[in-house]
Homo-oligomer: A and B are copies of this chain.
Amino acid sequence: MTMKAMQVGLLGIGTVGGGTWRVLQRNAEEITRRAGRPIRITRVADRDVERARALTAGAAEVTDDAFAVVRAPDIDIVVELIGGYTLARELVLAAIEAGKHVVTANKALLAVHGNEIFARAQERGVMVAFEAAVAGGIPIIKALREGLTANRIEWVAGIINGTTNYILTQMRERGVTFAQALTEAQQLGYAEADPTFDVEGIDAAHKATLMASIAFGVPIQFERAYVEGITRIEPRDVAYAEELGYRLKLLGIAKRREGGFELRVHPTLVPADHLLANVNGAMNAVLVKGDAVGQTMFYGKGAGAEPTASAVIADLVDVTRLHTADPEHRVPHLAFQPDQVREVAALPIEECRTASYLRLAVADRPGVLAEITRVLAAEEISIAAMIQKAPACGRAEIVMTTHEACEAAMNRAIAAIETLPAVQGAVTRLRIEPLAD
């Protein structure tokens, strides 16, 4: 094979960048046999020039000037692994402007500036590939964009943040608190020093936003996503969920509805016997429901140097295989042809519909349950199951699940329940997804 190598400029050679470098070197022969020509990182930009030089050992030109790499005439593809919104946006736009194809793992960037970036890429006739931005090594973008194109996709529900899945798994398996599990996750490297993006659900919302766009053919609209993290989850909620036949997972959900679609991230009770409930530790999985295919699931490592590099390099191979195709006949960035994206908006959370889990402390006296039931009935919310926990000192804990109801109605019901004299403190509410056909 003597074809000219595709020349790649790598922006950022930290964890994922280092993994990309390593895998591309190690599997060079196999990757070339697949791609039809060698793929070589010939330029690297990193703030830490010394580290970059040590890693690349003379095999690539190293600089601290990322824009120089982006504009170098010999570079065919720019890989953006810097992260963040500002500099990354400028670099990606500059690369597109210079006619380079772009591969990025930057979900935050695409969730916030994706519409702009993809429009510019379209104008310039270059590809922006982002398999690594969602669920690490799992080829879920490709599955949604190409593998399931026959389907009207009804919903997507994913465990798409490894940190929170690790924490929730620890809380369930060992009964520890969120705070304990987080500290351990940080010690083990599963959570960052500032875990906000992960534990508050923001990272998952970035990814769910991208999947929603591809699944439904709508603009990227992170600003409309409902986002709720796992910081307030208590061990007893994990245990009660279990008792009711559920398991608690942080899900990113995109669901088609009349007149719009739901886009939400929150802790979710899922049936314990569903395959998704059994995705543990830092693993990721995305469940997709299509009208023809039914439920499909895609499982694997959602983070880490080499799993993420796996997705980055798959994109490099894709670009290498297809870059000579005329831009009109490439796979569209967001699965739907650019002129076929529909201006459909994500519904506000108040218009979303879910079943709920409610936990509340009440005075242990007759008639309390009847009062609560009456409030729910007034909002046309019906109860699916109920357990009452060990009354002690005249106080009982009621845990119940409801059938599907509108969020606004549930909010009103919860507010009304909290005003009942027998109810003590706030109602804890979690949402349930049956993940049924």
> Per-residue 0/1 for A86-109: is the Cβ within 8 Å of any B Cβ (1 yes, 0 no)?
000000000000000000000000
B324 x A326 contact (CB < 8 A): yes
Cβ-defined contact, A23 with B325, below 8 A: no
Nearest chain B CB to A338 CB, angstrom units: 10
Cβ < 8 Å to B, chain A residues 313-351: 313-314, 316-318, 321-326, 328-332, 335-337, 339-340
Residue of B nearest to A307 (CB): B293
Q: How far is the CB of A434 from chain B (nearest CB, A)?
A: 18
* Chain B min CB distance to A298 (Å): 6
Pairwise interchain contact A152-B27, C-beta atoms closer than 8 A: yes
Partner of A314, one of B19, B34, B149, B309: B149
Work out how many copies of this chain go into the complex.
Answer: 2
Q: Which chain B residue lies CB-closest to A1?
A: B340
A319 and B417 alpha carbons, distance in the complex (Å): 57
Q: Select one of B143, B217, B313 contacting A143, CB under 8 A.
A: B143
- Indicate if A291 sits at the interface (CB-CB under 8 A): yes
Q: Which chain B residues border A392 with CB–CB below 8 Å? A: none
B-contact 0/1 string along A114-151, CB 8 Å cutoff: 00000000000000000100000111001100111111
Q: Shortest Cβ distance from A25 into chain B, in angstroms?
A: 12
The chain B residue with its CB closest to the CB of A19 is B292
A299 within 8 A of B: yes
- Interface residue A83 (Cβ < 8 Å from any Cβ of B): no
CB of A290 closer than 8 Å to a CB of B: yes
Contacting A296 at CB < 8 Å: which of B23, B32, B137, B329? B137
Contact between B142 and A143, CB atoms less than 8 A apart: yes
Q: Which of B297, B310, B314 contacts A300 (CB 8 A)?
A: B297
Nearest B residue to A316 via CB reads: B150
Assembly CA distance A332 to B34 (angstroms): 8
Is the Cβ of B314 less than 8 Å from the Cβ of A146?
yes
For A339, give the chain B residue with the smallest CB separation: B1
How far does the Cβ of A33 sit from chain B's closest Cβ, in whole Å? 4
Name the one of B36, B151, B340 contacting A310, with C-beta atoms under 8 angstroms: B151
User: Please, what's the 1-or-0 string for A189-215, where 1 marks a CB less than 8 Å from any CB in chain B?
Assistant: 000000000000000000000000000
A150 pairs with B23, CB closer than 8 A: yes
Q: Does A295 sit within 8 A of B, measured CB to CB?
A: yes
Check A36 against B337 for contact (C-beta < 8 Å): yes
A386 at the interface (CB under 8 A from B): no
Complex: chain B residue closest to A27, CB-CB: B152
> Of all chain B residues, which has the CB nearest A287?
B299
Whether the pair A142, B149 counts as a contact (CB closer than 8 A) is no
Query: Within 8 Å of chain B (Cβ to Cβ): is A31?
Result: yes
Residue A27 contacts which of B19, B139, B292 (CB distance < 8 angstroms)?
A: B292
> Contacts A150-B23, A150-B31, A314-B149 known; A300 to B296 CB distance under 8 Å?
yes
Given A27-B150, A31-B150, A152-B30, A307 and B292 contact (CB-CB distance below 8 Å): yes
Q: Say yes or no: A142 contacts B150, CB within 8 Å.
A: no
Instruction: Assess whether A275 is interfacial by the CB under 8 Å rule.
Output: yes
Most buried by B among A1, A142, A300: A300
Given A34-B336, A143-B142, A329-B36, are A151 and B300 neighbors across the interface (CB < 8 Å)? no
Given contacts A137-B296, A149-B34, contact A329 B337 (CB under 8 A): no
Task: Determine whether A306 belongs to the interface, using a CB cutoff of 8 Å to chain B.
Answer: yes
Q: What separation, in Å, do the CA atoms of A153 and B151 have in the docked complex?
A: 29
Q: Provide 29 A-B residue pairs closer than 8 Å at the C-beta atoms, listed in order of the A residue.
A: A1-B339, A19-B292, A23-B291, A27-B150, A33-B217, A34-B332, A34-B336, A34-B340, A35-B337, A36-B329, A139-B147, A142-B142, A143-B143, A149-B314, A149-B318, A150-B310, A151-B310, A292-B310, A293-B300, A293-B310, A295-B300, A296-B298, A298-B298, A298-B299, A299-B299, A321-B331, A322-B329, A322-B330, A325-B329
A interface residues (Cβ-Cβ under 8 A, vs B): 1, 19, 23-24, 26-27, 30-36, 131, 137-139, 142-143, 146-152, 217, 275, 278-279, 290-301, 306-307, 309-314, 316-318, 321-326, 328-332, 335-337, 339-340
CB-based closest 8 A-B pairs: A139-B147, A150-B313, A296-B300, A137-B293, A325-B325, A33-B340, A293-B310, A297-B299
